[in-house]
Structure 1
């Protein structure tokens, strides 16, 4: 299975890069993984809803350039479904069974993903009501993809 993670913003700190590198290594035995970073827009404090939507739309256009017609889209979204790791593994199995050419995971910027991308998603996933910086969300996403695959394959994982 091919998996692509498209995320707004770059990893700057070494510790985030090291964590992502570790999960790239772990996932390499199971999937073909590609990470695509797109530029983020400046996110001013106290931005109006209109400005926030404009930022989401601009970042969304950058993301859309990397999405293909036959992709299965998983959007990280605070309003999405919160799942246990076992439930995520079941959802992952359901998604890969749909015959997509690849699964594409989307991580938005400070204001999240555009309405157009959320509408296109085959699954909207929330890591719960907490707010995570997108660098940490990327690491958590990769860890959960790895854990979900191991659960689906009946392999040991930390409970």
Structure 2
């Protein structure tokens, strides 16, 4: 199984980068993880609704052109469906059984995702009704993927 994490923007905070590196290292025995960052679009000050949509569309185009063919696409969005850690593990197992060898997670930028990106997703996932920074959600996603693979393998970590 190959996991792709497509995200808008670069991580600037050292503490988040340290956590991301740690979970990427922990995931190596279980799966290949590729993190693909696309440039974020400059947000005009006092942006209008139309300008906000234009930013999301441009970022969305950058994301979608990097999605591997035949990949199962999970889009992270606050309006998506929640899932437990056990549910994520089961979903990964089911996707493997269905013949998927690639799962792509898409994380939007500061303004979220365009409707086109949301429509492209095979599943829209929400980690919480709360809003997190797009940088922080990358770390949370990696931790949940690590937890999911530990659950799949029946190894201690998940409580």
Are positions 1:26 and 2:39 aligned together?
Answer: no
Distance apart, 1:69 and its partner CA = 2.3
SS in 2 for 1:41: coil
SS in 2 for 1:128: coil
Match of 1:98 in 2: 98
Match of 1:69 in 2: 69
Change (3 A) 1:93 1:101: closer
Tell me, in whole angstroms, the C-alpha distance in 2 between the residues paired with 1:43 and 1:89: 36
Distance apart, 1:44 and its partner CA = 4.3
Greater alpha carbon shift after TM alignment, 66-75 vs 88-97? 88-97
Match of 2:12 in 1: 12
Tell me, in whole angstroms, the C-alpha distance in 2 between the residues paired with 1:70 and 1:97: 15
Q: Map 1:79-98; keep pairs closer than 5 Å.
A: 79-98=79-98
TM-score for the superposition, normalised by structure 2: 0.93
The answer to whether the Cα contact below 8 Å between 1:43 and 1:110 also exists between their aligned partners in 2 is no
The answer to whether the Cα contact below 8 Å between 2:85 and 2:147 also exists between their aligned partners in 1 is yes
Distance apart, 1:92 and its partner CA = 2.1
Distance apart, 1:114 and its partner CA = 1.5
Match of 2:145 in 1: 145
Match of 1:156 in 2: 156
Distance apart, 1:47 and its partner CA = 3.0
Unaligned runs of 5+ residues in structure 2 are none
Tell me, in whole angstroms, the C-alpha distance in 2 between the residues paired with 1:154 and 1:23: 18
Greater alpha carbon shift after TM alignment, 43-52 vs 82-91? 43-52
SS in 2 for 1:34: strand
Greater alpha carbon shift after TM alignment, 96-105 vs 123-132? 96-105
Unaligned runs of 5+ residues in structure 1 are none
Instruction: Count residues in correspondence.
Output: 159
Change (3 A) 1:127 1:44: farther
